[in-house]
């Protein structure tokens, strides 16, 4: 156990150290941390220490930066699983974010708190040490900040804003309804959040802005959002190139692709993260091979938050991770929907790129590990995160590699990418504090957190027929794999 104020040596594992230019790996390496910082990463350490932790058979890795977390629980994610496949107009998030107008009630405060706690803990246990919260349940921001304080996680956040809400009409037709005043008010709420909470929780809660989606924000609101982010000195995210409805709406409204449009209005720079950016001029589905979105992304320095598994479930992927990297685009990884398993995302990112490019040499373990660490750190402009080097934050994962369920390996990074999952994460340290040990949360009763989140989610599912345009139940929207005899 690491105790703050003590100098602790983590020894005997495969240490992923950063040499100033790149990660490198030390067999039977040493990592020394003191308070919230790394003081040594690499080979043997001869100095005096107060405590020692054995990492034999484990990878000692920098914590992953998950650039796509929604702190809303997983109720909507479940609806997204199948529904996206047979109804083009409700593809992707519209399946649960376009209810009949005025019919979806926000969850009670205790459900919101339970779902947020579940999201943070679930992400932590699966290898995320820095959560980029790109929009979740609204309200009780003091409670949100208290949760970040209590759980010990590192978070970038503020409430998402938009001025075009999405609804279904009685025939299930997707409708966008614009209200500029509401958009300005929500942006102000986000700016207030940053003023109030940036730097709280011992510096672990940081501000960023979230323009919800490129097509749900008017051009003036996107411009105002980016201006506010520059003024505050914080990064900004929006979802763009995420689905074909969005791509076509932007084409119709601005006669440009989402990426071209965002570049033209000055939204893209090194402090901008685009969730997904799957549908670009490089992707075959939009059938719009004019211009060069990847070049624009590279020139502006914007980061693409790639969520490979979520997109694979919808039969989509980037075209392709190696092409983005070769064009000079900064790519980071995120999970978006469940499971929030950053270890598994490494494998999905690598394998999907190989299949997409029909090239087994594409998307190496090096590429995807860099995306999960340095890629996210670049967007938040943090040279002390996503790496283990003297002066870096003590955000560390100990991941079990030597076990019968794992391969026999020569290179631990390849073993991680090819064979591991979030359930192999043994220890999670954030800011020098052990938050997960032996695979269990140290600060909270994780079974109670799970039970509360499950209860809140089931409550949400029961309410689905009340706001769905066709009144369908969850089991009708997503038929179970086999006839399922529920107990209730």
Residue 479 DSSP label: -
- Print burial letters for 302-337: b (CB count within 10 Å at least 16), e (below 16): bbbbbbbbbbebbebbbbbbbbbbebebbbbbbbbb
How far apart are CB 334 and Zn ion at their closest, in Å? 8
The Cα 187–Cα 62 span in angstroms is 33
For Zn ion, the closer CB: 31 or 222: 222
CB of 52 to Zn ion, least distance (A): 41
Query: Which of 42/159 has CB closer to Zn ion?
Result: 159
- Residues 128-147 touching Zn ion, rule: CB under 5 A, are none
Shortest spacing between CB 213 and Zn ion, in angstroms: 8
Q: Which is nearer to Zn ion, 307 or 435 (CB)?
A: 307
Cβ proximity to Zn ion: between 34 and 336 the closer is 336
In the complex, the smallest distance separating the C-beta of residue 256 from Zn ion, rounded to whole angstroms, is 22
For Zn ion, the closer of residues 215 and 336 by Cβ is 336
From first CA to last CA, the distance across the chain in angstroms is 44
Alpha-carbon distances, residue 163 vs 21, 101, 126 (angstroms): 42, 15, 34
Total binding residues for Zn ion by CB under 5 A? 1
Region 52-111 residues binding Zn ion, contact defined as CB under 5 A: none
Q: How far apart are CA 436 and CA 221, in angstroms?
A: 40
Nearer to Zn ion, 80 or 425 (CB): 80
330 to 369, contacts with Zn ion by CB under 5 A? 336
Torsion on CA atoms 173, 179, 184, 187, rounded to nearest 10:
-10
Shortest separation between residue 349's beta carbon and Zn ion, angstroms: 17
CB of 86 to Zn ion, least distance (A): 21
Residues 6 or more apart whose CB falls under 8 angstroms from that of 326 comprise none
Q: How far is the CB of 337 from Zn ion (least distance, A)?
A: 8
Residue (187 or 274) nearer to Zn ion, CB: 274
Ranges within 277-336 binding Zn ion (CB under 5 A): 336
Angle between helices 219-232 and 180-197 (to 10 degrees): 10
* Count of CB atoms situated within 10 Å of the CB of 463: 17
| Element housing 227 (H / E) | helix 219-232
**And the tokens for 107?**
């969850």
Applying CB under 5 A, the residues found at the interface with Zn ion are 336
């Amino acid at each position: 156990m690491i105790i703050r104020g003590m100098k602790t040596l983590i020894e005997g594992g495969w240490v992923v150290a950063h040499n100033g230019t790149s990660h490198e790996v030390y067999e039977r390496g040493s990592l020394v941390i003191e308070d919230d910082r790394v003081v040594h990463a690499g080979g043997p350490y001869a100095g005096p220490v107060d405590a020692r932790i054995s990492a034999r058979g484990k990878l000692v890795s920098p914590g992953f930066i998950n650039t796509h977390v929604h702190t809303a629980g997983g109720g909507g994610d479940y609806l997204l699983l199948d529904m996206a496949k047979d109804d083009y107009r409700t593809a992707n998030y519209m399946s649960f974010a376009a209810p009949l107008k005025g019919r979806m009630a926000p969850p009670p405060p205790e459900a919101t708190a339970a779902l947020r706690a579940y999201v943070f803990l679930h992400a932590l246990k699966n290898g995320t040490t820095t959560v980029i919260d790109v929009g979740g349940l609204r309200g009780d921001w003091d409670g949100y900040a208290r949760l970040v304080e209590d759980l010990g996680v590192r978070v970038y956040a503020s409430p998402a804003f938009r001025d075009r809400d999405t609804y279904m009409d009685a025939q299930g037709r997707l409708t966008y309804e614009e209200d500029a005043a509401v958009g300005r008010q929500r942006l102000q709420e986000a700016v207030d959040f940053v003023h109030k909470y940036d730097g709280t929780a011992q510096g672990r809660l940081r501000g960023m802005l979230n323009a919800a989606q490129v097509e749900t924000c008017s051009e003036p609101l996107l411009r105002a959002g980016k201006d506010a982010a520059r003024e505050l000195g914080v990064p900004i995210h929006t979802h763009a190139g995420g689905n074909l409805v969005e791509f076509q709406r932007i084409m119709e409204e601005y006669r440009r692709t989402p990426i071209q449009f965002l570049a033209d209005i000055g939204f893209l720079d090194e402090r901008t993260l685009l969730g997904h950016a799957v549908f670009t001029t490089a992707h075959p589905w939009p059938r719009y091979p004019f211009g060069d979105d990847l070049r624009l992304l590279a020139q502006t320095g914007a980061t693409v938050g790639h969520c490979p598994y979520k997109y694979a479930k919808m039969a989509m992927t980037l075209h392709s991770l190696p092409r983005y990297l070769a064009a000079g685009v900064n790519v980071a990884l995120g999970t978006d929907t469940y499971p929030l398993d950053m270890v598994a995302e490494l494998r999905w990112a690598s394998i999907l790129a190989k299949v997409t490019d029909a090239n087994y040499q594409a998307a190496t373990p090096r590429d995807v590990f860099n995306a999960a660490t340095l890629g996210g750190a670049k967007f938040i402009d943090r040279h002390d995160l996503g790496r283990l080097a003297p002066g870096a934050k003590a955000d560390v994962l100990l991941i079990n590699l030597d076990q019968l369920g794992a391969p026999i390996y020569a290179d631990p990074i390849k073993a991680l990418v090819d064979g591991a999952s979030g359930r192999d994460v043994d220890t999670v340290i954030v800011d020098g504090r052990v938050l997960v040990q032996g695979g269990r949360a140290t600060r909270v009763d994780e079974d109670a957190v799970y039970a509360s989140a499950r209860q809140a989610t089931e409550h949400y599912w029961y309410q689905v027929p009340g706001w769905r345009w066709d009144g369908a139940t969850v089991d009708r929207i997503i038929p179970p794999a086999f006839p399922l005899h529920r107990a209730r």
